[in-house]
Amino acid sequence: MDMIRVLIVDDSAVLRSLLRSILEESSQIEVCGEACDAFDAREKIKRLNPDVITLDVEMPKMDGITFLRNLMRLHPIPTVMLSARTEKGSQLEVEALALGAVDCVHKPNGEDILTIGGEIIKKVILASHYQVKNHPSEYPSLAPQLTSEGEYITDRLIALGASTGGIPAIERVVSMFPMDCPPVLIVQHIPEYFSTTLATRMNKKYQIHISEAYDGQLIETGSVYLAPGDDHLEVVKKSGRYYCRLHKGEPVCYQRPAVDVLFESVAQVTGGNASAALLTGMGKDGAEGLLSMKQQGCFTVIQDQASCTVWGMPGAAAALGAQNEMVHLNRIAPVLLNSCYKRGTK
């Protein structure tokens, strides 16, 4: 098996040395080089052509986010970010994931980085299997063709699920939804400390209202509800209205929140009056739930392999025949919206 060639990018010589010693403990990894800043990294990427990069968020001359934005636009390479666990660090990590970084690792505060060596090795090995895409730095707030073109089916819901590579995919879909679209519920596999930051980020960027869901929240038209990072999100119906329900049940497919939990609840309470899309992600979470939705009469879509970072979750759904359609990421929003119109009003 070919070795995974890794370039370490960090302004600290001490940290570069520690990272090298950590990564070289794995029989699958070869550290092919080190870079002290973004400009050094740019030249070494051209010369060494690494399979994976580890990239410090905060560096002199050019910060890691700016470098990552340029890298993903010009020469996409699977990238694992390293940052401090702070409020600022959380915001930068969410931005990095939105730009196409595969994953993030927190540098220990006042601790030896060797304590997280296993996590770093695992994430680098996983990153080597990812199909990284070119990512625009910003998606448009609304594509003109997606202004509402008819009357929506009463009480229609839209559900989205994603994991690895999901943040840029979700942003692409949400960026195209008009302000009056049916309510949207989202499960993205994400740590607890990321979800509030992600919801705030998207709410500032796009015209539809986006928030982190809370227990008992009324589900309303023109709003997007993102599952918190350590809670399952379900839809419940009371007195003819839909509400969010959060709970800390056991992980499903090793995940909490789990896409399957959301999709199964939508299948049960809507009587088929919903649409769903399963986006990029590793594993099989969401596949069974999407099948349940289809069997209840809901409209179901999966992202195609060509536009996925990882086709694990959509691929698992395809193996079950859980989708009505399989489409490129750029077509998911219009296909979902089209399924929500009343017949004869579009």
Extents of the domains making up the chain: 4-127, 144-340
The CA–CA distances, whole Å, from 147 to 27, 35, 79, 202, 341 equal 53, 46, 35, 19, 12
Question: Does 346 score more than 90 pLDDT?
Answer: no
What is residue 276's predicted lDDT score, i.e. its pLDDT? Answer: 98
Question: Does 248 score more than 70 pLDDT?
Answer: yes
What is residue 85's predicted lDDT score, i.e. its pLDDT? Answer: 60
In angstroms, rounded to a whole number, what is the distance separating the alpha carbons of residues 171 and 65? Answer: 18
Instruction: Give percent above pLDDT 90 in the chain.
Output: 73
What is residue 340's predicted lDDT score, i.e. its pLDDT? Answer: 95
The angle, 0 to 180 degrees and rounded to 10, between the axes of the packed helices 13-23 and 117-127 is 70
What is residue 142's predicted lDDT score, i.e. its pLDDT? Answer: 40
Instruction: Of 85-94, 187-196, 230-239, give the lowest mean pLDDT range.
Output: 85-94
What is residue 146's predicted lDDT score, i.e. its pLDDT? Answer: 55
| Angle, CA 188 vertex, CA 319 and CA 272 arms, to 5° | 60
To which CATH superfamily is domain 144-340 assigned?
Methylesterase CheB, C-terminal domain (3.40.50.180)
The two three-digit tokens of residue 341, written as one number = 């119109």
What is residue 304's predicted lDDT score, i.e. its pLDDT? Answer: 96
Query: Among 100-109, 122-131, 189-198, 260-269, which range has the highest average pLDDT?
Result: 260-269
Residue type, 249: G
What is residue 138's predicted lDDT score, i.e. its pLDDT? Answer: 47
Question: Does 62 score more than 60 pLDDT?
Answer: yes
Are 301 and 270 spatial neighbours (Cβ–Cβ below 8 Å)? no
In angstroms, rounded to a whole number, what is the distance separating the alpha carbons of residues 15 and 9? Answer: 10
- Residues carrying an active site annotation: 163, 189, 285
Q: What is the chain's mean pLDDT, rounded? A: 90
Q: The domain 4-127 is classified under which CATH number: 3.40.50.2300, 3.90.1150.10, 3.30.450.20, 2.60.120.260?
A: 3.40.50.2300
Question: Does 60 score more than 60 pLDDT?
Answer: yes
* Residues whose CB falls within 8 Å of the CB of residue 177, separated by 6 or more in sequence, listed in order: 142, 146, 184, 206, 208, 224, 333, 337
What is residue 308's predicted lDDT score, i.e. its pLDDT? Answer: 93
Question: What's the pLDDT band for 83 if we cut at 50, 70, 90?
Answer: confident
The CA–CA distances, whole Å, from 140 to 131, 175, 178, 185, 330 equal 24, 6, 12, 21, 12
Instruction: Give percent above pLDDT 70 in the chain.
Output: 91
Q: For 132-142, what is the mean pLDDT?
A: 53
More confident residue, 140 or 219: 219
Question: Does 2 score more than 80 pLDDT?
Answer: yes
Are 79 and 165 spatial neighbours (Cβ–Cβ below 8 Å)? no
Q: For 39-50, what is the mean pLDDT?
A: 95
Query: Among 64-78, 137-151, 184-198, 314-328, which range has the highest average pLDDT?
Result: 314-328
Q: For 86-91, what is the mean pLDDT?
A: 64
Asked whether this chain's domains 4-127 and 144-340 adopt the same fold, the reply is yes
Cis ω for the linkage preceding 257 (within 30 of 0): yes
What is residue 130's predicted lDDT score, i.e. its pLDDT? Answer: 86
Phi–psi pair at 222, nearest 5 degrees: 75, 20
Residue type, 29: I
In angstroms, rounded to a whole number, what is the distance separating the alpha carbons of residues 207 and 217? Answer: 20
Question: Does 192 score more than 90 pLDDT?
Answer: no
